[in-house]
Amino acid sequence: MKQKIGFIGLGIMGSAMAANIAGAGYPLTVYNRTAGKTLDLEKLGVQVAKTPKALTAESDVVILMLTDHEAVDNVLWGPEAAVEAVTPNKTIINMSTVSPMYTRDLKKRLSSSGACFIDAPVSGTKRPAEDGTLLILAGGNEQEVQKHTPLFETMAKKVIYCGEAGQGSMMKMTINLLLGVMMEGVSETLNFGKMGGLTEDAIFDVIFSGPLNCGLYQAKENMIRNMDFPTQFPLKHMTKDLKFVVDTAYETGAAVPAAHTMLHLYRLGVGQEWGDLDIAAIHKLIDFLSQTRKGGSY
């Protein structure tokens, strides 16, 4: 018999991930602070809990897919707290994007419950979440990760074991640093070339015809061409993650000069109230800075 799954957090990613779990035949209960986000899942026969505590009591495995540290803490230790129903036979899987330091502390705080803890953030955006083709970056006891791999595979095309708890979050920070740099890099490249008289068509043709071609640039091409950025991964979330990168680098001693620059730029984008747009809106910021500079100031 399949484990009973509880899923907390039905945002852009979480709603699609939960639907895939239900579609694979797992008994599923969900909770979301905004109740309206449960309606589509209810049509699939998914149960809805009124509180995190009630969801945890009904579930063998509790998955958290939340925005940040504060949201995770609120679900676990806030009103009607999930931890009040955590017992040694349960598993808590945090798939939220949080810092490695927070993840290690989270494991420590949950240890008194005796429950298994896995950190398993994902690499991918809205479309892979819908298609069940995410990458899961798992940290924790390796045998427990293997035990839960069939569950993970309802949401992902691959599960990558990264080490002890906290290392899943470390891998998430690592790959998101590259994502942030690549997205800004192609935006800066396009803007530089166009301001030098090249056409957007020609620049994209060169990128797509050589070794610099990649799925990320193809996925964001139409957004950049149309200057329209429907959200797959919000720019404000990349900004949050880059702050985690910079903070983690301070702890480890890693040199991250590009991360500091990227954090500054993405924060500028949030300051222009573009935080809810897709990360490709960093192109909008680079264009804005160029136009501002042409006007005589930054």
List active site positions: 172
Using CA atoms, how far apart are residues 169 and 55, in angstroms rounded to an integer? 25
Specify which residues 160 forms β-bridges with. Answer: 137
- Residue 39 burial (10 A CB sphere; 0-12, 13-18, 19+): exposed
Give the CA distances from residue 179 to residues 72, 132, 174, 183, 204, in Å, rounded to whole numbers and listed in that order: 24, 20, 9, 6, 18
Coil, helix or strand at residue 185: helix
Residue with tokens 């429950």: 115
Two structure tokens written together for 241: 């993650």
Two structure tokens written together for 100: 């490695």
How many other β-carbons are positioned within 10 Å of the β-carbon of residue 24?
A: 16
- Residue 82 burial (10 A CB sphere; 0-12, 13-18, 19+): buried
Using CA atoms, how far apart are residues 193 and 198, in angstroms rounded to an integer? 5
